[in-house]
Amino acid sequence: RNTFESLLQQETTPIAGAFFHSDDMALASVPALKGTIHEKMLVVAVDGQKEGLDAVKNGVLAATSVNPVCRIHRTALFLGQFFARNKESVGQAPLEIITPGPLVTADNPRVLEAMYYLADPAHCIV
């Protein structure tokens, strides 16, 4: 947050938006905007954790993009199993395997509600 505040103080014109690599970082930095020329800045982040989803729902964050950590790790485990069981080489695996990470905004309540379900620790999908 200190670095973010320092950057804000250096700017003499309003900054339109900021991207943070985690919901936690974004939420910790948002209070620094209050009372500055940057107060209307759109803040977005990555994680899709419950706190980030709450912040999107309440208008604190403009958006969060889901980082599907559980899917990424699960895919790595599946690949390891394929290599071991089928005696495949690592070179046979695709160079890129896409794990969907949707953009969550208040403008799309269906995605927001779905992400609440998936982010629940009982489901551990996000």
Entry pTM: 0.77
Confidence check: pLDDT of 23 > 80:
yes
Q: Is residue 40 part of a domain?
A: yes
Enclosing H/E stretch for 104 = strand 103-104
Confidence check: pLDDT of 46 > 80:
yes
Name the phi and psi angles at 96, rounded to 5: -135, 130
Q: Is residue 65 part of a domain?
A: yes
Measured distance CA(120)–CA(15) in Å, rounded: 34
- By DSSP bridging, strand 103-104 and strand 63-66 are antiparallel
Q: How many domains does the chain have?
A: 1
* Domain boundaries, position 25: 2-119
Q: Is residue 125 part of a domain?
A: no
Q: Is residue 25 part of a domain?
A: yes
**Whole-number mean pLDDT of the chain?**
90
Q: Give SS3 for 85.
A: helix
Q: Is residue 124 part of a domain?
A: no
Confidence check: pLDDT of 104 > 90:
yes
Q: Is residue 96 part of a domain?
A: yes
Q: Is residue 14 part of a domain?
A: yes
The CATH number of whichever domain residue 45 belongs to comes to 3.40.50.2300
Q: Is residue 6 part of a domain?
A: yes
Question: Which whole-number Å values give the CA distances from 120 to 60, 86, 110, in the listed order?
Answer: 21, 34, 16
Query: Which residues touch 72 (CB under 8 Å, ≥6 apart)?
Result: 99
